[in-house]
Amino acid sequence: MSTILVPFSDDDRAEAALQTAIMIARKFNGHVEGLHAWRTPQIIAGEGVVFPSESLARLTDESKQFAALAHQRFDATIKAENIPYCEIGTAVDGVSCSWREGEGVESEIIGDYGRLFNVIVMGRNEIGTSVDWKATLEAALFESGRPVILAAAEPPSTVGQHIVIAWNGATETARTIAVAMPVLRAAARVTVLTVEGGFVPGPSADDVARHLGRNGIDATAMMAVPGRRSVGDAMVDEAATAGADMLLKGAFTNSRLRQMIFGGATRDIINNSVLPVLMAR
């Protein structure tokens, strides 16, 4: 986890993501890059309608002002943490950072540029229904090819000390475990959680724990009964109750279209988790 990308705007949720990224970077002497994407206003006018050029210029100026405010907020956090700026390819002793602004659609930029990084850390959406935020999250998961950490709404006191793996036997979760091995090895404790009714044919939680042990990871298995909760909500509740500070989950085990229409454990975890969630495809 030596290179970390953080999509950044001037809001509290993005700052929580930045704080989470910094905590992860301190574990691995990593580099954190903040990225703000701003879009040139596109005006679609009907035939014979002329949109005043001064209005278009004003909208462009507003986009640049939003970018400047985001940069100021990022810079204030970085300076408070005493983290130096440098080029991402420059070797330094300890954590470093950089800032980038890109003109275009955020989801497209993250989907492409994010392929260069070890992990993408995103803030939560304030209202849970933003189309742009969902597009960026999906692009990070499906287009970048990199794992994503969805930060908690508030900056955590620790991250990655006790990791709960939401194990459902699926290929996506197996791949997520594989890409997260550096984080799992750095944890003091790992719990492999299965929820009754939320399992596809595959190895058991005990099997996973034994194999993690062979990789030098102290892991134990546990089973939970959902009761009236959805499988995703049960995973979130049980991880928090166990004292975890990170939840690991393979993203979208069922077909993407089916989950978009009917929900699924991944969507429940995305919407409701009070912990940072590490996901991959």
- CB-count exposure of residue 66 (10 Å: 0-12, 13-18, 19+): middle
Place of tokens 């983290």: 83
| Bridge partner residues of 219 (DSSP) | 190
Q: pTM here?
A: 0.89
- Do residues 30 and 57 touch, judged by C-beta distance below 8 A? no
pLDDT for the residue 129: 47
Distance set, CA 56 to CA 40, 51, 109, 149 (Å): 9, 8, 23, 36
pLDDT for the residue 240: 94
Q: Count other Cβ atoms within 10 Å, centred on residue 19.
A: 20
Element (H, E) at 246: strand 246-250
pLDDT along the chain (281 residues), means of 10: 94 95 96 89 55 59 85 97 94 93 92 96 72 88 93 92 94 93 96 91 94 96 93 93 95 52 68 91 76
Give the C-alpha separation, 181 to 72, whole Å: 34
Residue 158: which of 126, 124, 117, 187 has the closest Cα?
187
Q: Report pLDDT digits (tens) over 201-248.
A: 889 999 999 999 999 999 999 999 999 999 989 999 999 999 999 999
pLDDT for the residue 122: 96
Residue 110: which of 22, 9, 253 has the closest Cα?
9
pLDDT for the residue 125: 77
Angle in degrees, CA 110, 14, 137, rounded to 5: 35
pLDDT for the residue 134: 87
Give the C-alpha separation, 31 to 117, whole Å: 10
Residue 195: which of 121, 131, 253 has the closest Cα?
253
